[in-house]
Amino acid sequence: MQDNLLVTLIVFLSAAVISVPFFKKIGLGSVVGYLIGGIIIGPWGIGLITNVDSILHISEFGVILLLFLIGLELKPQRLWILKKPIFGLGGLQVILTFFFFFTILSFLGMEKSQVIVISISISLSSTAFALQLLGEKNELKTMHGRSVFAILLFQDLAVIPIMAILPFLTESVADPGSQGSIKQVAVATGTILTVILAGRFLARPLFKLVASSGNHEIFTALSLLIVIGASLLMDQVGLSMALGSFLGGVILADSEYRHELESNLEPFKGLFLGLFFLAVGMSINLSEVLKDPILVLFSALILILVKATVLFFIGKISNHSNETSLNLSVTIAQGGEFAFVILGVGVSLSILPKERADLVIAIVTLSMGLTPILGIFKDKIAELIFKKDQNFKEDTIEEQNRVIIAGFGRFGQIIARMLFVHRIGFTALEHNPDQVNVARKFGYKIYYGDASKLSLLRSAGAEQADLFILAIQDIDISIKVAELIKKHFPNLTIIARARNREHVFKLMELGIQIIRRDTFASALELAGETLRKLGFMDSEVEKKIKKFRAHDELTLKGQFQIRNDEKEFIKFSKNSMHQLEVAFEADRQEKEGKLSDQNLSSL
């Protein structure tokens, strides 16, 4: 048995190591790599692994950990703020999608109870697939990423009433059954409250006790115990294990152990998520697909098309842009892992024949496998469509002012507000259509256009302007605009925003004198507040902040001179830090000396 376990692990690791890098290399992403690897090693491929159901069940722990870690990022207060998108977007998506599928399947002449079970099951999406794809593209915190998360969270919550109403669809259910369903809802509600109270009043003292022992391994073990315990408790009362882990994460989100929990569980999440995607690939029943491959493929595409259409509509009525709505529609247009559970219950209650459930499962699984590929096509098409649209919609500028602001994000807006209250005219340029729309809602007069185009700069009055505020966030575009101005408008003074020191050096190479880094001033202010809270007097803090700023400016100029010599750069930076320490130490000793003199004179 031990040998079989080791062989199974070797097979899994080999499939992942070979397929995932290859498919990421050709641009299809890691999820497709896991799926293809799973198909190859599974019972419908070369048959190295046959016990797919048990592996799929174990691998769901990856989804559980993923939801727990996401919960850790959401404090209860923030979750309450999200109630509108969760129940608004999520509820609308499930209801509309169910209605469309119910209508389509009813026309096919299926029994109403079967239509309801299938429509409900395919209305839900895959949490694991969607969040993994968003994470790979760093889109979890984008507008469509937040909408995706809200909808998925509602779907997890919807599983509770869905599982409760399934018994009502069987003709053999009597009144006691309905009472049992009501009892199930009551037990589910009680379990959720139990998890919340246990997390609030039991988990934190346990973590405090274990943390005080200084044993890192036991802390990790306790973290896993809480995640597994909450998930298993939910599973025992017929709820989603993922919902239990998510609730556990939310409860601990504002605890002092949040970051430690994240670092401990992150490796397990990646490992089990990979196993989950491999198991999904292995579960694709190729024999069912090969019975009528055209029907399965066509049905999977219809499933994706219907859900994508509904999601795009929801995005538009939620005031999302076309691009954001398209991203939302493609990300969660697939079927989900909950379909396997709901269809399985449907078979056990004799609502669905097993052959039909297997066919739907094959369709759902294929839709999950197609999602990453469709996402790649979507990115290519969207880039062409929206880039084309942007080129045609560039605004005509009919005014010229003393100041031009390029980049109207958070940085540029603060400068614009200062100019506005002093009644100084400015021309604002922004290349992000979403940002333009948002700024216009707040009353700003802003022009849509690409500041790296010479024609736009001329129409904005760069030849007559006194100042050009370079507030563009993207470093490459920022440098391109700066080069263009230096070449064609050499008398125009540039005041530039820089993301980091590397950006500063590139701007200095162009001869730009006035440069301010994004976070330097705010970080210094916060450092000053920290010193005040530690007992330093206001006059002392102001003096120290002023000295630190001046020293850093000198260091920056020195680093610029040797920026291409890494060895000298590091040596110079260390020496500069030492000089700063010496200077502050001298101040400290001077202060202590004065205090001693005052004490002696008072004696």
Task: Say what the pLDDT of residue 334 is.
Answer: 84
Task: Say what the pLDDT of residue 338 is.
Answer: 76
Q: Which residue has the tokens 């044993």?
A: 215
Classify burial at 396, counting beta carbons within 10 Å of its beta carbon; exposed 0-12, middle 13-18, buried 19 or more: exposed
Region of 376 on the Ramachandran plot (φ > 0 left; ψ -120 to 50 alpha; else beta):
alpha
Residue from 335, 313, 310 nearest 322 by CA: 313
Average pLDDT, the chain: 79
Give every CB contact of residue 397 below 8 A, 6+ residues apart in sequence. Answer: 427, 447, 449, 456, 459, 460, 461
Count of all residues that appear for the chain in the document = 603
The answer on pLDDT for 455 being more than 80 is yes
The answer on pLDDT for 182 being more than 70 is no
Classify burial at 148, counting beta carbons within 10 Å of its beta carbon; exposed 0-12, middle 13-18, buried 19 or more: buried
Strand ranges, E, within 258-354: none
The answer on pLDDT for 602 being more than 70 is no
Q: Which residue has the tokens 């440069």?
A: 515
Residue from 58, 129, 70, 91 nearest 247 by CA: 70
Distance, CA of 343 to CA of 365 (rounded, Å): 13
- For 238-277, the pLDDT digits (tens) are 666 766 777 777 777 766 666 677 677 777 766 776 777 7
| Greater pLDDT, 324 or 587 | 324
Distance, CA of 95 to CA of 60 (rounded, Å): 26
Task: Say what the pLDDT of residue 146 is.
Answer: 81
- Provide, for the chain, the percentages of residues in helix, strand and coil under a 3-state DSSP scheme, each rounded to the nearest 5: 75, 5, 20
Distance, CA of 158 to CA of 151 (rounded, Å): 10
| Greater pLDDT, 172 or 111 | 111
- The answer to whether 401 touches 461, Cβ cutoff 8 Å, is yes
Residue 160 pLDDT level (bands cut at 50, 70, 90): low
Average pLDDT over residues 441-445: 77
Sheet holding 493-498, edge to edge: 446-448, 426-430, 403-406, 467-470, 493-498, 514-517
Average pLDDT over residues 213-230: 76
Phi and psi for 391 in degrees, rounded to 5? -65, -35
- The answer to whether 239 touches 160, Cβ cutoff 8 Å, is yes
Q: Which two tokens stand for residue 366?
A: 């294929």
- The answer to whether 285 touches 361, Cβ cutoff 8 Å, is yes
- For 412-424, the pLDDT digits (tens) are 999 998 998 888 8
The answer on pLDDT for 381 being more than 70 is yes
Residue 579 pLDDT level (bands cut at 50, 70, 90): confident
Helix (H) or strand (E) holding 493: strand 493-498
- Of the candidate ranges 162-176, 220-234, 433-447, the one whose mean pLDDT is the lowest: 162-176
Task: Say what the pLDDT of residue 335 is.
Answer: 86
| Greater pLDDT, 35 or 518 | 518
Global pTM reads 0.54
The answer on pLDDT for 140 being more than 80 is no
